[in-house]
Amino acid sequence: MNEVKNPKKPLIYYYGVAMMVLMVFNFLAMPWLSQRQIREVDYGTFMEMTEEKNVGRVKLQENQILFTDKEETQVFKTGLMNDPELIYRLKDSGAAFTSEIVEEMSPFLSILLSWVLPIVLFVGLGQLMSKKLMEKMGGGPNSMMFGMGKSNAKVYVRSSEGIKFSDVAGEDEAKENLAEIVDYLHTPDKYKEIGASMPKGILLAGPPGTGKTMLAKAVAGEASVPFFSMSGSEFVEMFVGMGASKVRDLFKQAKEKAPCIVFIDEIDAIGKKRDGQVGGNDEREQTLNQLLTEMDGFEGNNGVIILAATNRPESLDPALTRPGRFDRRVPVELPDLKGREEILKVHAKKIKLSEDADFKQIARMASGASGAELANIINEAALRAVRDGRKFATQSDLEESIEVVIAGYQKKNAILTDKEKWTIAYHEIGHALVAARQTNSAPVQKITIIPRTSGALGYTMQVEEGNHYLMTKEEIENKIATYTGGRAAEEVIFGTSSTGASNDIEQATKLARAMITRYGMSKDFDMVALETVTNQYLGGDASLACSAETQAQIDRQVVELVRRQHEKAATILLEAREKLDELAKYLYDKETITGEEFMAILNG
Ligand code: ADP
Ligand code: ZN
């Protein structure tokens, strides 16, 4: 869509222009205006007029003579001459001498012209221009001066090349849900007739980069209505009260442009629970209150639909999510295998790809990737092709770019000692071998021991076949065993341990903990929730909800669980010691091993 950016020229600019006009006025027009009343004539004319008794009043000054005609319609000015007779002649002509005379201009008029008029002009011009400016931005005159407290919402006008639902791959449920909004915006009468009113607000909740912004834009694009977009964090400003005034302004603009879509990104920035703590964030609360007031203020069916996005739906204030406000929640989840494939296809249209590109394969390898990451993978592949001087990207570009996006670039000049390289090779093969030997674990896709900029020294890419919605207890246990497999291999081979397993340890612990505290997979605690997840879409932090005594028990059980799997992994590796050596040597030599090569050696 065409984004109509706010005119960036600040108000001060317009005042500056007004100032310039004024200065020109003062220099050119003012002298002319004040001079208009005094006409300079030569002494001859003055003498003539005196003779013709055509002089009304006269004032002799030190260096000039000011006089009027009989009707006093015009003031004249002429130079002073050495003319001693003048006074008598003037007296004869019936001219009246005066000191006040012929004021060059009345003092009142003079003040008016030189002070009041410029100020009036100055303010008037400034007002006019700022009004024009506000009209341009759709703002109102009650916006504050110099752009403070204005919403600065980005407006996307309707345009044919706007984002459509077809640009958003996967997310079928979300699209279905939002299609209703589009239908409503097209034919509101159908809904009014029956008395149905659209939800005022719809909350798009999901992890970052899953296409929430895209979906909101697509609703506007499909309905071809204006789209106002603003981020929650933009509301919260340095000055108290600014946020609230921005909210007011945003809604004022929106109501004028209805039907339209208002999109508030990161709404949790203003919509966080008001916890009533002393010293809470006043500004945020005021902004939130204003938002609530605005949402209550407009009747349903007025054509303004508010979409908001958040990664932390659970942190929102309940007042915001109650019916009549953001009463509908549309989950926008990470894409599944099919969704990933579709997203890859949508973005692949933008680049030149060779025929051999297998999106399904890439989608399988990029498990857990968000839409934004998938878009990035496609772009990285194209960049890689350019770097290699090719005209199109290939399957191997895509595969390499998955690793780039997930693990970072290859560290070309990282210097590992021979011992380190062996350790990493055994560590990675350890993971893969344990995974392969436990029938329930997914086979590996690829292992490399080329260091990455992310800090990973080696990298095992597991492949999930199809989608998993449930995991059994055994599957989780096997996964833990796989995580411990790297360290187990180091111990089996070198009889010592290295720091390379820190991430594995974290992951294994997390799983083991979840089994006990959240999935009810321990006999001691049965189906009791001991932890609640707080950040579902951002890594899933958990907070304990049990007594200190229970916590100690949980800790013991977690250790027990991980230890059992660690031992199991070690046993598997000891049994397959020969394969372990063979595979590690292969990996050491080649630095990269594919899933097929791995299985061939394992089963060979
Ligand atoms: P969010 O608002 O959820 O954080 P965005 O909508 O800003 O995510 O998405 C970021 C980028 O990721 C988009 O510009 C797009 O290129 C890509 N993307 C994300 N999800 C999808 C999807 N479902 N289909 C196509 N592209 C997507
Ligand atoms: Zn590891």
DSSP 381-395: HHHHHHHTT-SSB-H
Q: Given the DSSP bridges, would you call strands 444-448 and 459-462 parallel, antiparallel or unpaired?
A: antiparallel
Distance 258 CA to ligand 1 centre (A): 26
pTM of model > 0.75: no
**In testing the pocket of ligand 1, which one of 3, 203, 210, 349 has its CB within 8 Å of the most ligand atoms?**
210
Ligand 1 atom closest to the CA of 335, numbered from 1? 23
- Pull the structure tokens for residue 80: 């002073």
**H or E segment to which residue 398 belongs:** helix 395-407
Q: Which ligand is nearest to the CA of 447?
A: 2
Please give the C-alpha separations between residue 395 and each of 346, 374, 403, in angstroms, as whole numbers.
16, 14, 13
Mean pLDDT by 10 residues, the chain (604 residues): 47 66 66 64 82 82 81 80 77 77 60 71 70 49 44 53 82 89 86 84 91 90 86 74 82 84 88 64 79 79 84 85 85 88 92 88 83 92 92 89 75 75 92 83 74 72 67 91 94 91 92 92 86 72 82 93 96 94 93 87 84
Q: What is the DSSP code (8-state) at residue 28?
A: I
Q: What is the pLDDT of residue 100?
A: 64
CA–CA separation, 183 and 179 (whole Å): 6
Distance 487 CA to ligand 2 centre (A): 7
Q: Which ligand is nearest to the CA of 336?
A: 1
Distance 348 CA to ligand 1 centre (A): 14
Q: Which ligand is nearest to the CA of 370?
A: 1
Going by alpha carbons, the residue nearest to atom 18 of ligand 1 is 371
Ligand 1 atom closest to the CA of 169, numbered from 1? 24
Please give the C-alpha separations between residue 198 and each of 184, 189, 301, 314, in angstroms, as whole numbers.
8, 12, 7, 23
The set of long-range contacts for 290-294, using a CB threshold of 8 Å and a minimum separation of 24, is 290/243, 290/244, 290/245, 290/247, 290/248, 291/247, 291/320, 292/319, 292/320, 292/325, 294/247, 294/248, 294/251
Task: End-to-end CA distance of the chain: give it in Å, rounded.
Answer: 57
Asked whether the beta carbons of 550 and 530 are under 8 A apart, the reply is yes
Going by alpha carbons, the residue nearest to atom 5 of ligand 1 is 211
- List residues, by chain if needed, whose CB lies under 5 Å from ion ligand 2: 486, 504
Q: What is the pLDDT of residue 459?
A: 74
**In testing the pocket of ligand 1, which one of 214, 265, 349, 379 has its CB within 8 Å of the most ligand atoms?**
214
Ligand 1 atom closest to the CA of 373, numbered from 1? 12
Ligand 1 atom closest to the CA of 309, numbered from 1? 2
CA–CA separation, 276 and 374 (whole Å): 41
Q: What is the pLDDT of residue 9?
A: 53
428 catalytic per annotation: yes
Query: Does residue 197 sit in helix, strand or coil?
Result: coil
Distance 539 CA to ligand 1 centre (A): 19
Could you report the per-residue pLDDT of 20-41, keeping only the tens digit for each? 766 766 666 665 555 556 788 8
Ligand 1 atom closest to the CA of 215, numbered from 1? 6
- With vertex at residue 383, the alpha carbon angle to CA 382 and CA 388, rounded to the nearest 5 degrees, is 100
DSSP structure string for 461-528: EE---S--S---HHHHHHHHHHHHHHHHHHHHHHSS--GGGHHHHHHHHHHHHHHHHTS--STTTTT-
Q: Given the DSSP bridges, would you call strands 227-231 and 260-265 parallel, antiparallel or unpaired?
A: parallel
Q: What is the pLDDT of residue 181?
A: 87
Amino acid, single-letter form, for residue 391: K
Distance 251 CA to ligand 1 centre (A): 26
Distance 541 CA to ligand 2 centre (A): 22
Query: Interhelix angle for 242-257 vs 282-297, to 10°?
Result: 20
Tell me whether residue 521 is exposed, middle or buried, using C-beta atoms within 10 angstroms of its C-beta: 0 to 12, 13 to 18, 19 or more.
Answer: middle
CA–CA separation, 305 and 293 (whole Å): 15
Distance 212 CA to ligand 1 centre (A): 7
Q: Which of 506, 221, 214 is nearest to 335 (CA)?
A: 214
Distance 159 CA to ligand 1 centre (A): 20
Which position among 222, 399, 403, 428 bears the catalytic label?
428
- Torsion angle, alpha carbons of 289, 295, 299, 303, to 10: 160
Residue 538 — φ and ψ, nearest 5°?
A: -125, 65
Q: What is the pLDDT of residue 509?
A: 94
Q: What is the pLDDT of residue 45?
A: 83
Distance 211 CA to ligand 1 centre (A): 3
Asked whether the beta carbons of 577 and 445 are under 8 A apart, the reply is no
Q: How many CB atoms lie within 10 A of CB 10?
A: 12
Residues with CB under 6 A from ligand 1: 168-171, 208-214, 309, 343, 346, 371-372, 375
Number of helical H runs and strand E runs in the chain: 24, 17
Amino acid, single-letter form, for residue 365: M
Q: What is the pLDDT of residue 227?
A: 86
Could you report the per-residue pLDDT of 139-166, keeping only the tens digit for each? 433 333 444 455 566 655 444 457 888 8
Ligand 1 atom closest to the CA of 217, numbered from 1? 6
Place of tokens 């659970």: 314
CA–CA separation, 185 and 173 (whole Å): 19
Ligand 1 atom closest to the CA of 372, numbered from 1? 12
CA–CA separation, 184 and 204 (whole Å): 18
Asked whether the beta carbons of 338 and 170 are under 8 A apart, the reply is yes
- With vertex at residue 378, the alpha carbon angle to CA 507 and CA 345, rounded to the nearest 5 degrees, is 105
Q: Which ligand is nearest to the CA of 458?
A: 2
Q: What is the pLDDT of residue 414?
A: 66
